[in-house]
């Protein structure tokens, strides 16, 4: 099973231009440059995401879910929320059950096409998370 960071890596676009700017600001065409730049960008994103703390991963999942809702990308929003659910620690039952209910509500809003409603709930949760961990 993929980790949350690995899920996020796969959700980013890798499109890159097929040219580069040289030191003298001239545009230089790079044969196969788009693929090389995309691979480098992917490697950078992967390294960055794998070095996040668990607290930062949760923040990134909130960011991803909220942005996906705003862009009407229901599948990505659903995947991000699913990862948030998988990260719940039910040893702290009262907190986990409350969050689970809010996450399920957000998923249901997305399913019904109410992305704004889901985004509003997720933004409130993200704000509380940032405040709790001084991010």
Residues 97 and 74 both lie in one domain: yes
Residues 67 and 125 both lie in one domain: yes
Reported as type and span, the H/E element at residue 69 is helix 54-70
For 62-82, write each residue's pLDDT tens digit: 999 999 999 999 999 999 999
Residues 28 and 84 both lie in one domain: no
Residues 39 and 62 both lie in one domain: no
Residues 72 and 96 both lie in one domain: yes
Domain count within the chain: 2
The 8-class DSSP code of residue 106 comes to H
DSSP per-residue string spanning 86-99: HT--TTSHHHHHHH
Count CA atoms closer than 13 A to 79's CA, side-chain side: 18
For 12-28, write each residue's pLDDT tens digit: 444 444 455 545 555 55
Per-residue confidence (pLDDT) for residue 13, from 0 to 100: 42
Q: Which residue has the higher pLDDT, 31 or 135?
A: 135
Residues 58 and 35 both lie in one domain: no
Residues 23 and 8 both lie in one domain: yes
Range of the domain at 78: 54-133
Measured CA to CA, the distance from residue 84 to residue 59 in angstroms comes to 10
Buried-exposed string 70-102: b where 16+ CB fall within 10 A, e elsewhere: eeebbebbbbbbbbbeeebeeeeeeeeeebeeb
Residues 117 and 66 both lie in one domain: yes
Per-residue confidence (pLDDT) for residue 14, from 0 to 100: 41
Measured CA to CA, the distance from residue 92 to residue 63 in angstroms comes to 24
Residues 64 and 93 both lie in one domain: yes
């Amino acid at each position: 099973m993929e980790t949350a960071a690995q899920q996020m890596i796969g959700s980013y676009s890798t499109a890159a231009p097929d040219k580069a700017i040289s030191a003298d600001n001239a545009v230089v065409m790079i044969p196969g440059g788009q693929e090389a730049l995309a691979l480098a960008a992917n490697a950078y994103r992967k390294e960055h995401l794998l070095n996040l703390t668990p607290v930062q991963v949760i923040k990134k999942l909130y960011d991803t879910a909220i942005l996906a809702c705003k862009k009407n990308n229901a599948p990505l929003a659903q995947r991000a929320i699913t990862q948030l659910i998988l990260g719940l620690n039910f040893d702290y039952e009262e907190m986990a059950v409350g969050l689970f209910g809010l996450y399920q509500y957000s998923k249901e809003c997305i399913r019904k096409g109410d992305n704004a409603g889901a985004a509003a709930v997720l933004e409130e949760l993200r704000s509380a998370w940032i405040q709790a961990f001084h991010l």
